[in-house]
A and B are shown apart, each in its own frame.
Chain A
C-alpha cells in the first residue's frame, strides 16, 4: 500500500486536515494549561459535555443542534472551574474534579429521569477522526483561526500570568480576564473538537505534546513550537501507522505521543549528561 493510494481516500484527507489543525490547537493550548496545573481540564469539560448532551437529547436536539445547549453550559462550567480555584482556594485538579463529577452525575440523572432516548447517548457524544465531514473540516479551520488569533492577541499577558500571576496582576495585567479567555477557549475547543475526533484524542493532545516540549524547550516560544510540532506529527504519523498496522487510529495517535514523550525524556537526560560533563 503506497502513500498515494492511502491519500486517495477522502476520509483520510479530511482526517489529516482536521486532525492536524486540532492537534496544533490542542498542543498550544496544552502548554498554557499544563503550566497552570489545569492539565485535566479537557477530561473534566468532556464530562460536562456529556451532561449537557443529555439535556439536549431530552429536547430532541441531535448532533449539531445539541451544541446550542452544550456550548453555553460548558463555557459556564469552565468559568466555574476558574471561580473555584480563585474563591474557594482549591487547586486546579480539585476544581476540575468537582465540576467533572457534577457534570457526569447530572447527565446520568437526567438520562434516567428522561426515561430513555431515541438513540444511544454515548455513541452520539464522541466523534471519530475517520468520520469527519467536509463541513467539520471547515469548523476545525474556523476554530483553529479563532483560538490562534486570540492566543496571539493575548500572548504577552498569557505568558505573564502563566509564570507569575501575582507579579502580573501587580504590573497591571487584567488577570481575571486573561484567565477567563484561556479557559473559555479551552471549553470551545473541547466541545467542538470532541464531536469531531473524540475525547480520548483531545485530552491526550492537551497534555502529552506540552509535557514533552517542556522536557526540551529552553524558551516559552520554543516550547509552544515543539508542542505544536509533536501534535501535528503524531496525528499524521498515527493515521498512516493505523493504516499499515490495522490498529484503531485515535489510540495509535495517543501511543505515538507517549513514544515522543519517552524520547523527549531520554533526550533531555542525554543532553543534561553532556552539558554537565
Chain B
C-alpha cells in the first residue's frame, strides 16, 4: 500500500513538473511569432524568411505523402495557437479551409501562398494522347488544377512574396529583416531558374517520363520539356494494365534511357516499368515533403532542386555548358 502511494505521489509530482515546464516553455516561445506551414516548400521558404525571429513548424510528419494527410486534433490546436498559418491552395490541402472555419480568425493570420499564381490544368497521363482509348470524354482530371505550383520557380518567387506579406502583417516590428531575407531567397531562386534554363537548353532528349503521379507539369512547361506521368494528379489512383503497357511503349518509342521515380512512395511500379522497357530509374523529388533522414540533415528546397537538375541532365543527356 505504501509503495503504491509512493508511486502515485511521484507520478503526480512528475506530471505537475511536466505541466509547469510546458507552460514556462510556451511563455518563452510566445515572444516569438509562431508560424505553422503545411508543405515542405512553404516550410523551407518561411524558415529562411523568419531567420531567428520566428518559430516555423511544418504540419506534415516526415515521410508522409501529403495527399493522404489528415490533421489530428493536436495539429488544429497548433494552428489556432499560432500567429500565422501558411498553406498552398484548396487544390493541395482541401482540409485547410475546413480547419480554418473553426479557428479564431482575429488572432490567426492565414496566408494562401498560391494567391496570384497562374494555375495549370493538370494531366498529361500516358495514354491520353493515344487515340482510340475512348477515355477522352470521361477525363475526370480535366477539372482538376495541378497543385504543384512551387515547381515553377517564378511561382516560387510569388509564394515567397505572399509569405513575406503575411510575416510583415503579423510581426511589423521585424519587417526589415524579413524583407532582406526574402529578397536574398528570391535572388537564389532566380539564380536556380537561370541554371535550370541553361542546364536544360541543349539536351539530346526533350521528353521526360515519370513513373509516379502527375507532379512536374510546371517545371516541364517553364523549360520547354515534354512530360508524361503514369498516373494522374491523385497519388492514390491505381493504373490499369493498359496504362502500364502504354507507358512501356512510350518509353521504347521515345528512346529515353531513364525513367524518373517519385520520392517517399514505394517505387515498385516505376521499377517494373523500367525493367520491362530496359531503362534505368532516376529519382526526381517533388519536394512535397521530406523523409526523416533528410529532415535531420536539414536539406533545403534549393538543394533538392539542384539534385533534380543533376538527375534531369543525366536523364535527358544534356551537355553542360
* A residues neighboring B (CB under 8 Å): 1, 6, 9-12, 15, 111-112, 115-124, 127-128, 130-133, 239, 242-252
Contact = CB atoms under 8 A, between A and B. Distances in A.
Given A250-B238, A251-B238, A131 B63 contact: no
A130 B292 contact: no
Contacts of A132: 272
A179 B241 CA distance: 39
A243 B240 contact: yes
Nearest to B65: A120
- Choose among A119, A132, A245, A247 the residue with the greatest number of B CB atoms under 10 Å from its CB: A119
A116 B242 contact: no
A117 to B, nearest CB: 4
Contact of B272 (A112, A116, A123, A130): A130
Contacts of B295: 116
B264 interface: yes
Contact of A120 (B135, B265, B294): B265
Nearest to B265: A123
A231 to B, nearest CB: 18
Contacts of B264: 118-120, 123
Given A115-B292, A128-B269, A10 B276 contact: yes
A112 B63 CA distance: 12
A118 B238 contact: no
Contacts of B272: 11, 130-133
B241 A128 contact: no
A160 B239 CA distance: 44
Nearest to A129: B241
Contact of B240 (A111, A121, A242): A242
A118 B248 CA distance: 29
Closest 7 CB pairs of A and B: A116-B62, A118-B291, A117-B63, A248-B238, A131-B268, A116-B61, A131-B272
Contact of A247 (B65, B240, B244): B240
A72 B130 CA distance: 48
A204 to B, nearest CB: 15
Contacts of A9: 244-245, 248, 276
B64 A15 contact: no
A171 B72 CA distance: 55
A130 B273 CA distance: 10
Given A118-B292, A119-B265, A130 B62 contact: no
A116 B64 contact: yes
Given A11-B273, A119-B266, A133-B275, 4 more contacts: A6-B245, A12-B241, A131-B269, A243-B245
A12 B241 CA distance: 8
A12 B265 CA distance: 22
B140 interface: no
A130 B241 contact: yes
Contacts of B243: 246
Contacts of B269: 128, 130-131
B293 interface: yes
A115 B62 contact: yes
A266 to B, nearest CB: 28
B276 A118 contact: no
Given A9-B248, A10-B276, A127-B268, A243 B241 contact: yes
Given A115-B61, A119-B63, A251-B238, A130 B127 contact: no
B112 interface: no
B140 to A, nearest CB: 13
B133 interface: yes
Nearest to B270: A131
A120 B241 contact: no
A140 to B, nearest CB: 15
Contacts of A118: 62-63, 264, 291-294
B65 A243 contact: no
Contacts of B93: none
A123 B269 CA distance: 11
Interface string B253-274: 0000000000011101101110
Contacts of A245: 240, 242
B118 interface: no
Nearest to A240: B241
Given A11-B276, A116-B61, A130 B244 contact: yes
A239 B245 CA distance: 12
B68 interface: yes
Given A15-B241, A249-B241, A120 B266 contact: yes
Interface in B271-292: 271-273, 275-276, 291-292
A119 B291 contact: yes
A246 B68 contact: no
Contacts of B64: 116-117, 120-121
Contacts of A112: 61, 72
Nearest to A12: B241
A246 B247 CA distance: 13
B231 to A, nearest CB: 10
Contacts of B294: 118
Given A10-B275, A128-B269, A131-B271, A246 B61 contact: no
Interface string B92-109: 000000000000000000
A157 B248 CA distance: 49
A127 B238 CA distance: 11
Contacts of A122: 65, 68
A1 B72 CA distance: 48
B240 to A, nearest CB: 5
